[in-house]
A and B are shown apart, each in its own frame.
Chain A
Amino acid sequence: MPPVEIPVEKWPGKVREVTIGGNGRKSVTVGGESALPFLSFEGQIPNRPRIAIEVVDMVPEDWADNLVQAWGDAMKSPAAWAKKAAEYGADLICLSLDSAHPDGPNTGPKEAVESVTSVLEAVDLPLIVLGPGVADKDNEVLTAVADAASGQRIVLGFCEEKNYRTIVAAALAGGHLVIAKTPIEINLAKQLNILVSDMGLPPDRILMDPTTGALGYGLEYVYSVMERLRLAALQGDSMTQIPIINIAGKEAWRQKEAKAAQGVPDFWGDAARRGILWEEITASELLLAGSDILVMRHPEAVQKVKATIDSLMGS
């Protein structure tokens, strides 16, 4: 019989390349794909997906036991935590300014700048900074951080439809990037990217967060939105040609399967391994759907997922 002819897709469009960091510190470039995730036989995949390890600016109160054990004393300061994260192979650091939450310690711009500066000095890795997730507080702390880190090309998160102008302005002034976050909906994602770039922020300084759902808690929704976003990008839709970042670790570890050791069914298996597997499978599925940056928590999950990325990239 004649040789099998493998159908190969040739796409007119590709995802933009986005670079974080540089200017004397390490940089990471993501995106640039002209094929569906990891299908290198029919297109270019110039940059592998990267792992950012999440560092919190306070000792978290509600993390699962095995996650706390994994980090230990390093959690006492963002700088120490970032150093440990670098040792565990982080490609980027993602600093969550949880202490600035009004319901928590409610720290302010001064503390935020201290935390960010200490991390920038402690490690040579590119940096993502997430505000506490409350609009006015985000604006306040991220503006201060953007100014203090001017020229370092960090990523500021999150810009949402109801609150993006101040953060985009800060990114413009400081030479930074932003994460545009939308609730698992492809048209809202496009719309927000348009609003952000209409303010003058070049599209190669935007990352998309389609809002991650963990395994068993909405994964298939974000998985399918991401597949549709990549297909749209490859078909030439310019406002979807933006790399994707997923906050995978936080989502996986807040679920009962990851946190609870008692009072759970036997069929759930072993508590010590379960949360790590929950994070690993959430993360690997997001990779298949087109994730460019995974923000993760457990060092073992980071290592196993990096090995999976190596395997998928053929190296």
Chain B
Amino acid sequence: MALSGLDIYKLLPKTNCKECGFPTCLAFAMKLAQKGAELSACPYVTEESKAALDAASRPPIRLVTIGSDGKKFSVGNEVVMFRHEKTFYNPPGLMIRIKDNDDADAAKATVQRATNYVVERVGQTLTLSGFAVENASGDATKFAQCVEMVRANSDMPLALMSTDPAAMDAALAKAGGGSPLIYAANRDNVDKMAELALKYKAPLAACEPSGLDGLAELVEQITKKGVQDIVLDPCARGFAQSLATLTQLRRLALKKLFRPFGYPIITFPGDGAASPEEEAMLAGLQISKYAGIIVLNSFDPTVIYPLLTLRQNIYTDPQKPIQMQPGIYKIGEPSEKSPLYISTNFSLTYFSVAGEIEGSGIPSWLLIADSEGLSVLTAWAAGKFDAEKIAKTVKTSGIAEKVGHRKLIIPGHVAVLSGELEEELPDWTVMVGTKEAVDIPGYIKRVWVS
């Protein structure tokens, strides 16, 4: 939330001494508001004013990076309560919990599988974010060994979970550099944990179960020690508490610029969950409502795939739904005798249709019209995928030079256009294809005799 020129002016000496290079303090303030000047140009601004100006120009929720020497992810820096107000910017990290008292072979296998787990959806590559290694045994040696094992089998970012500063120190030494998340400081260990955060230049989680007052105080203690990268754990458990607490934290950060809560939030949806499905739904709630890092209790692709999909959905910029470039797409190696389909440039439409055409085993041409990123039904309802648009796309794309036949397969949902379309394209025969992409293989095998 930027300060206006007038707000900044109120914090300046108002002497119009001109030493900053501007004729008046007001002129300087206006320039500062546009970020066209540096505050340091004024030799007389007070320490209080400097602090106030600094606080107001910082993002309301700090961007915190969890990293390794190899990979990293950043969370925070959000500016809205609802994605439709602008967008959500930094998708939450999804980390897998590894306990140091789990069976060692099983843990190693999990680390390898989770590290290599990749989902492709709508032209994007989605992965997990890293591992949260927990000192469940209470034994510092076991903890350090477990961290070493994870690091030996993965280059992904880590969160280290222990409340014992000595164990944490030993484990941090095995984490392989970068900036793993130190989980966590509490009222008893805060000084020592803060020292570790400074020593290793690592972000520090603040864990306080008693409520928001206690959490705010804990964060203040941490910031007084000089730690800047903080992650909040309000210890919210269950659906109702997660929703209420995370909403309140986001509101305090954005609307009250309450500095102690200007940090990303970490959650543990599996704690207390009665089933993997309950953990999954709660993780989903936390993805949509304000979590920055979500730690899942097990590596379960059946749960992770929908959660990665949900994260992709919620964190898509509403102003920029993923669109394809309109034009001619080859699926396989089509010839001039191959089928020709037409559809819209909403990416989900493209990938669904292209995927099914590929699955049919029949190389084909896919002509993509500019429907401004809308799906078939939505574009048609909005008048952005009608007979005129389809005809224009066919005529201007040059597809007539690629195919020898004149048969065009249109999406089943716009069957009503076929008559009108044949009038716009008198050389062409319109074939009405399927409503659902999944029915394409069955359809094309029935109707296309090559």
Contact = CB atoms under 8 A, between A and B. Distances in A.
B378 A183 contact: yes
B248 A276 contact: no
Contacts of A184: 378
B163 to A, nearest CB: 24
Given A266-B301, A267-B305, A288-B243, 14 more contacts: A4-B213, A6-B212, A6-B252, A7-B252, A184-B378, A215-B310, A228-B84, A256-B438, A268-B302, A268-B305, A311-B240, A312-B239, A313-B240, A314-B240
A105 interface: no
Given A304-B278, A311-B240, A220 B316 contact: yes
A312 B289 CA distance: 13
Interface string A213-243: 0011111100110011001000000000000
Contacts of B83: 220, 224
Interface of A: 1, 3-7, 38-41, 183-184, 215-220, 223-224, 227-228, 231, 254, 256-257, 259-260, 263, 265-270, 273-274, 276-278, 280-281, 284-285, 288, 304-305, 307-308, 311-314
B244 interface: yes
Interface string B254-266: 0110100000000
Interface string B177-214: 00000000000000000000000000000000000110
Interface stretch (B7-15, B29-37, B100-108, B117-125): B117-125
B243 A304 contact: no
Given A216-B313, A220-B314, A280 B212 contact: no
Contacts of A266: 301
A86 to B, nearest CB: 23
B110 to A, nearest CB: 15
B61 to A, nearest CB: 15
Interface residues of B, number: 59
Interface of B: 82-84, 117-121, 212-213, 216-217, 220, 238-240, 243-244, 247-248, 251-252, 255-256, 258, 274-275, 277-278, 280-281, 284-285, 288-289, 300-307, 309-310, 312-314, 316, 318, 348, 352, 359, 375, 377-378, 381, 436, 438
A215 B306 contact: yes
Contact of B285 (A3, A39, A220, A284): A284
| 5 smallest beta-carbon distances between A and B, as pairs | A269-B302, A269-B301, A311-B239, A220-B313, A224-B84
A215 B313 contact: yes
B82 A219 contact: no
A3 B213 CA distance: 6
Nearest to B309: A216
